[in-house]
Every structure is written in structure tokens, then in C-alpha cells.
Chains A and B, each alone.
Chain A
């Protein structure tokens, strides 16, 4: 009996040791840690092409700048992200950066980081905290402005009457809330433009397709002539659904979305979609510039916007304000080819 127990325990321990060791072997292949500043970064997940491009950009930039990067994928779960941030603090990193999964619930863990005197830089999405000073800087896009740009493009190209179907992003996430807000802000001045359908597609292609299918089966299906998707992946899913329903995407239903990924550029180039407002994921270099400045003890602005354009099938349309004009670029084969993600 005793013998058996020993064997079993040895087997269990061996399994773990083996997995533990092979794990270390794997990591040497993908060596992304340098000897410089110790940075802990927690990414939302790998839910879209955009996110994957952003992850790549961060890892590449870290390698270039010799950053000792501890990277963790939260798999879209807040609980994982909080654990990651706590572990970064315990591990003793010098700067923490993360893209929050949702806006709420980070207050306690950010206080712990502050107590440990580790500066926090938010990337891509903001958090909702009740006291200031829990993070030093926020680098990322202005989601409300992206929503406004999408709204202005619709006003400029579709005209004063439009029935819009909206594919909302992950419920409760900052980009979903803000893009909706920005879009609604613009169309509020144009009573002819109405959102007649609005539902969450969770920022994924599969859900985007599923929700669009349900829109196209609803009684209002024939009235829909504009689709506003909060990201390209949902729009790409919706294009499939529209084609399967026997309609022409980009013509019967004008499609506008946000992000600017390569597949969306291709869709616009082929005439299956009309416009995409860029939300630049390649801000890894910008992020580590800020982190290096912080580490050197320099002051950094609390809000750092990323540089972004708008791409469509027409070109030359002002989707900014009169004071700060932003004109759209017409998509050409060259632009499609030059896109990395």
C-alpha cells in the first residue's frame, strides 16, 4: 500500500516537473526579456486582429529598447488581470502598464501599486477610479472622437436620412461606451438619422455575424441602410451575414467601422465596406518612450493621444471639426499592402 502511494505521488510530481521544465525550455525560444527597465504588462486578450497587432507591437518595441518585459494575457477576464497586476507588484517590476478589460474594479490593486511606488501607465483603455493619482499617464485613442468621426462620415456621405444598425462592442468596456456616445452626439443634430437596431457583438467576428443575422431577420430588416460597427472584426462578420442574406454589403447597406485592420482595408478596396476610422494599435514604441521618461524621473503628460487617420472608399472628406480638420484617405492597393495587421 505504502509503495503504491509513493508511486502515485511520484507520478503526480513528475508530471508537474516535466510540464514545469518544458515550460522553461519554451520560453528560451521566445526570449522577449532584456536587461533594462523591468516592466509588467497585462494585455486584455487576443480577441481581435487589432489586439494581436498591439501585442506584437509591444513585444517588438520591448525587444528593441532592451526592456525586461513580463507579459501576461488576461484572456478577457478581469480576475486574471488583477492577479497579474498583484503579481507584478510582488515580482518587483519598476513600471506597470495594462489595457483594462473593463473600466471598474481596479481601485484597490492600483492603490497597492501606488503604495509600492510603482508608476502605472494605462494603455488603450482608461479606468474609472474615484481618486486621482492612481495612474500617471494614459496613452491611447480618444474613443469618443472616433465615434464622432464615424458619425460625421455618415452625415457627409449618407445624408440627412438614414436608418442605422449598430454593432456595439463588449458591454461596459470603455471603447463601446465612448464610441456609442460620440456617434450619438453627432447624429443628435440630425433627426433624420436614427439608430433602429443596437446590440452587442462583443468585438468578435463570430458574434458580429450572429447579431447581424438576427438584425436581418427582424421586421425592420429592409429599413436598415447603414451599419455602424464598433470594430472591424464585427463589421467583417456582418459583411458575411449580409452576403448570405442576399444583399450587397457596401451598397445596399453602407458599412462603417472603427480600427483600420488590413482585412477591413481589403473589404473597402473590394467595395464591400465603406469606411474605417483608424484606432492605431502600433503604439508599443510610444508606450516605452513614456516608460523610459518615467524611469528617468521626467514628467509625462497625463493624457497622450495616439496618432490616427480615417480611411474610406471616397477620400477627401473632413471628419474632424472645422477647427481641427481630419480628411479621409481613399484606400488604394498600396495602402492595403503597407498595412501590417
Chain B
């Protein structure tokens, strides 16, 4: 009988999916109503913006880079949209401008990283401060979006009502659509494959004739776009903008990507994994809120432990893979 071999590269993502179901099961056993479809749907509604941000972060991490500007871009784009719409500007124009700024900002970061061989950590750190500050220039106070036809349309007509209290919102559908496109892009296109090649070994990728510079700049551009889109989703989600929101969200996105089975050194992982990473983060938070007795900061402690477990697991897998390729 042929022995079934579980491919090494599927171990982290399988572990993530397992963790998701284990946490879900703990919730269902511990609390009434935890298993209701509403909780499951809310998980997507409340984390759609984080999910979209995590897609960009996943791609950047796959190249072996990092993007710290995510949370600040979300805050900036959401306050920009809120400010423009509340001063009478057409919402579609405001959203388009926000997305364009995200794309240009990402491109600029990618260009700086590639052309001057600067560390992505520092370039995007600078970007994080810069764009957070810009958000406060737009407005120091939170601004609500009221009675805007476009936002009302998205809210009322683009929501599928599945039942009482069960609303499949536009932002959830948008997230899943972007996720599908990103999965296809990363595995089935030349540019997507190049991202993996660069993350695996940049020198080898260069020697193979892969356009390293172009691919890197493209990846940061996509990340900028994802952050800006997450900002748009955030503005739709809250119908408001606030320059103070989403401080440190990039860390949640990175955690989601790591828990989703992507190696921080690049080259290994799946964009798909970020979905489960985000869901696991959301689920842990839901569990703690449902309990309602213990300190909410336990969310952070558990997420911290989980990230650590996944890093160790990936480290082990890398070591085993290396020793295996040596023995061949």
C-alpha cells in the first residue's frame, strides 16, 4: 500500500484551518448563540477591512518585505472620504481619489525600496508616520457621513438580506471578490509567480531574468491599493472617518498573515491563508466578548501566543525542508 504523503507546504495552512475550527467549537460549546449564523456573518462584516488589508500585506510578505503603512493609509483614506463627502463632493469622486492616492503612495514606497535598496521596514515606517499625519491635516476630528446617496445605496440596495438580522453586506462580498482575484493573481499569473520567486531567493530570481524591480514596485503598489480599499470599506462600514482609527492595524494584518501560514522571510505561503488568519483573530475576539467577564486584553495575549506558535512551527518546517534537500 502506498503511504499517503502530506505535502510539507500545506502544514501551516492546515494548522490554521484546524485552529479556526477548534476555536469555533470551543465557542459553540461554551456559549449559547455562538453557533448562530449571525455570529459567523458578523465575523466577516466586522473584519472585511482587515481582510482586505491583510491581502496586500500577504503579497508584500511573500516578496520578503513588510508594509507598516497599512493602518495609517486606512485612517487617511477614510477621513479623506468623510471630509470630501460631508463638504458636498460626490462620493464616487472621493472614493476614486482615495484609491488613487493609495496606489500612488504604495508605488512611491516600492520605488524608494527598490531604487535606493532601502529596507522596507524603514521606508514604510516613514510612510506610516507621514500618512497618519496627513490624516490629521485633513481633519483633527472624526467626521460622520450623513444622508449621502451613494453610501445609502451601498447600505440599502447592495446588501443581501438573508433573514432577520442576517445581512450579507456589500463590503463582505467585496472582500471575498478581492480575495478570489488575489488568489488567482498569486498562483496563476506570471507576476504572481515572480513574487514567490523573489521572496524565495532574490538573487536567483534576478539571474533567472525575473524583473525583480518591477515586481517589487508592483507588489507595494498593490499593497497601497489594498490599504486604500480597506479605508474605503472602513468608511462604508462606519459611515465616518477618524484620523485616530486603526492605529497598529498593520500589526493585526501581519499577525493574520503569519497565522495564515505565510513565512515572514518570504517565498512560502498562500494569500488564501490570510482569510483564516483574519477569521481566527476575529473569532478569538468574539469569544472573549461573549464571555464578557474576563479582561478584554486576553485577546492580545492569546493572539501573541498563537503567532509565536506559528513562527516556531514554520521555523521547524524550514529546517526539516532544508535537511531533506541536503540529504537528496
Which residues on A are within 8 Å of B, measured CB to CB?
1-2, 4-5, 8-9, 11-13, 15-17, 19-20, 23-24, 26-27, 30-33, 40, 69-75, 77-80, 82-84, 86-92, 102-105, 107-108, 112, 115-116, 128, 130, 170-172, 177, 200
Closest CB in chain A relative to B200 CB, distance in Å: 21
A-B contact pairs, 12 of them (CB 8 A): A1-B8, A11-B313, A19-B302, A30-B294, A70-B290, A70-B292, A83-B46, A87-B42, A87-B290, A88-B289, A91-B32, A200-B140
Q: Indicate whether B147 reaches chain A with its CB closer than 8 angstroms.
A: yes
A-B pair number, CB within 8 angstroms: 171
Closest CB in chain A relative to B58 CB, distance in Å: 20
State in angstroms the CA–CA spacing of A225 and B302 once bound together. 49
> In the complex, what residue of chain A is closest to B140 when comparing beta carbons?
A171
> By the criterion CB–CB under 8 Å, are A116 and B165 in contact?
yes
Which residues on B are within 8 Å of A, measured CB to CB?
3-6, 8, 11, 14-15, 18-19, 22-23, 26, 30-34, 36, 38-39, 42, 45-46, 136, 140-144, 146-147, 155, 164-165, 237-240, 242-247, 282, 285-298, 301-302, 305-306, 309-310, 313, 316, 320
If A104-B144, A171-B141 touch, whether A9 touches B290 (CB-CB below 8 Å) is no
Best-buried of A70, A87, A200 by chain B (most CB within 10 Å): A87
If A104-B240, A105-B144 touch, whether A12 touches B290 (CB-CB below 8 Å) is no
If A70-B289, A86-B42, A87-B42 touch, whether A172 touches B294 (CB-CB below 8 Å) is no
State in angstroms the CA–CA spacing of A112 and B167 once bound together. 10
Q: Which residues from chain A contact B31 at a C-beta distance below 8 Å?
A: 91
> By the criterion CB–CB under 8 Å, are B142 and A172 in contact?
yes
> By the criterion CB–CB under 8 Å, are B294 and A26 in contact?
yes
> By the criterion CB–CB under 8 Å, are B238 and A105 in contact?
yes
List 13 additional contacts besides A12-B313, A108-B238; criterion CB under 8 Å: A1-B8, A13-B18, A15-B305, A15-B306, A19-B305, A70-B293, A72-B288, A77-B245, A88-B289, A171-B141, A172-B140, A172-B142, A172-B244
State in angstroms the CA–CA spacing of A82 and B164 once bound together. 19
> In the complex, what residue of chain B is closest to A75 when comparing beta carbons?
B296
> By the criterion CB–CB under 8 Å, are A9 and B14 in contact?
yes
> In the complex, what residue of chain A is closest to B36 when comparing beta carbons?
A90
Q: Which residues from chain A contact B143 at a C-beta distance below 8 Å?
A: 104
> By the criterion CB–CB under 8 Å, are B147 and A130 in contact?
yes
> By the criterion CB–CB under 8 Å, are B140 and A17 in contact?
no
Q: 9 tightest CB-CB pairs across the interface, nearest first?
A: A70-B292, A105-B238, A105-B240, A104-B240, A104-B144, A73-B296, A172-B141, A172-B142, A27-B293
